[in-house]
Amino acid sequence: MIVIETKRLYLMEMTEANMPDLRAILQDDQTMYAYEGAFSEEETQEWFDKQQSNYENHKYGLWAAVLQKNGKMIGQCGLTQQIIEGRLVLEVGYLFNRAYWHKGYASEAARSCIRYAFMVIGFDDVYAIVRDTNLPSMNVAIRCGMTAKQRFIKHYRGIDMPHIAFSVKRELTKQGKIKGF
């Protein structure tokens, strides 16, 4: 089921058929450097299961980013609930197979997810939570009209990881102050 259609991508709920492409992303050390390395098979399955639960419980999650021209899953992008220092926020997340980096897919998909969060779900602001060493992901957030709001530590995989919370408000997109909305 297609949830969002962009110029070049379909964003759709992941299914078991997407597991080989998901493994190619999550089990690649270079792709997963901001997560301290590749996921195990068990971690990959947990990631997939969490998205299935998100679809069922929230009607959103990280969706498969599929090329329209050939139906290949090249990444994932979508909306998840995250906690920043005890506060629940809606995050746009994006993670693509590194063979498709630097082609604008992450920005295209993330912008469409932000629009979906504002126009379909009705949220007033959307966040991107980015590890402080992940400059490409910071640039995606900035291209989506987001600004850095705060630094915080996220404990993940047994490590304290500094992160930056970026956000954009629906009000700014309505006023035409954010390009692409």
Encode pLDDT of 156-172 as tens digits.
888 999 999 999 998 86
Contact 96, 65 (CB under 8 A): yes
Token pair of 131 as six digits: 């590890």
Residue 178, pLDDT > 80, answer no
Identify the pLDDT of residue 1: 86
Query: Three-class SS of residue 69?
Result: coil
Q: What is the mean pLDDT of residues 59-73?
A: 97
Q: What is the pLDDT of residues 88-145, one digit of tens each?
A: 999 999 999 999 999 999 999 999 999 999 999 999 999 999 999 999 999 999 999 9
Domain 2-174 has CATH 3.40.640.10: no
What's the chain's length in residues? Answer: 181
Domain-wise residue ranges, the chain: 2-174
pLDDT, tens digit, for every residue of 107-122?
A: 999 999 999 999 999 9
